Amino acid sequence: MRIKVLGCSGGVGPGLRTTSLLVDDEILIDAGTGVGDLSLAQQRRISHVFLSHSHLDHVCGLAFMADNLFDLIDRPIAVHATRQTLEAVRQHVFNWTIWPDFSKLPNEEQPLLRFSEIEVGAPTDLGGDRRLTAFKVLHTVPAVGYALESPRGTFAFSGDTWANDDIWAFLNGLPRLDKLMIEIAFPDEQVELGAASRHFTPSLLASELRKLKHHPELFLTHHKPGCEQLIEKQCRTALKDWRYHHLQRGDLITS
Ligand SMILES: [Zn+2]
Ligand SMILES: [Zn+2]
């Protein structure tokens, strides 16, 4: 699998985009502002979108992409998420007030967006020996991460999360885990803000990782703009036993 990082920042700014991953040119995992860097031709190739949770930094690109593609494609884009996330996005974004309901446009029989509920722990076959499974994480709203498995390796994406045992129980149950994209939003000084907003800090992530029996390559993401250097400095100590990268927009992960 070829996973292109369209965005992985905790906010926006020059060169910074929020979370969105493009898998094999046809699947989006989350649809943050990074989607805005795709050409129209690239957007037209998207057939599936998997959302981790309902926060704006992970879904806003879907609204603009739907508007772009409205009269350019004649098949629906499947938008997959848990029931709670779908309800939130439908009630609060595609509600005719914030944005048109593209699950009813151009008509209800052949809509642009087709919302599709996923079940945590139930694998989805993506074709081509690829499968994707949502796993429960802990955030301020119902949220999941995704594991992408192929015969060549397993990549997991935490989405936004904080310390909890469910994530490690799921990941430990995988036969292998080669690469893990996981968030660190704040530096250690903001551990209380992290607890309140359910985001990791470097030291907390390091202590949680002791629960993981696999030893994947780590891809660190969702750093708050302005905190990147401090987070990087703290990771040099906290994660010294791990092979890790601070993910950047445009990076390519193969799995
Ligand atoms: Zn969030
Ligand atoms: Zn986020």
CA of 110 to the centre of ligand 2 (A): 31
CA of 29 to the centre of ligand 1 (A): 14
CA of 160 to the centre of ligand 1 (A): 5
CA of 129 to the centre of ligand 1 (A): 30
How far lies 175's CA from each of 50, 154, 214, in Å?
A: 23, 9, 9
148-197 pLDDT, tens per residue?
Answer: 999 999 999 999 999 999 999 999 999 999 999 999 999 999 999 999 99
Dihedral of CA atoms 123, 185, 188, 197 in degrees, nearest 10, equals -80
pLDDT at res. 71: 87
The residue type at 221: T
- Exposed/middle/buried for residue 124 (C-beta within 10 Å: 0-12, 13-18, 19+): middle
Question: What does the alpha-carbon distance between residue 152 and residue 206 come to, in Å, rounded to a whole number?
Answer: 27
How far lies 249's CA from each of 113, 158, 167, 222, 224, in Å?
A: 26, 17, 25, 11, 14
The domain defined by 2-254 folds into Metallo-beta-lactamase; Chain A (3.60.15)
Length in residues, the chain: 255
**Domains of the chain by residue range:** 2-254
12-70 pLDDT, tens per residue?
Answer: 999 999 999 999 999 999 999 999 999 999 999 999 999 999 999 999 999 999 999 98
pLDDT at res. 83: 98
CA of 146 to the centre of ligand 1 (A): 15
Which pLDDT band, with edges at 50, 70 and 90, does 113 fall under? Answer: very high
Ligand nearest to the CA of 19: 2
pLDDT at res. 70: 87
Largest CA distance in the chain: 56
CA angle 190-211-222, nearest 5°? 40
pLDDT at res. 133: 98
Ligand nearest to the CA of 221: 2
CA of 32 to the centre of ligand 2 (A): 9
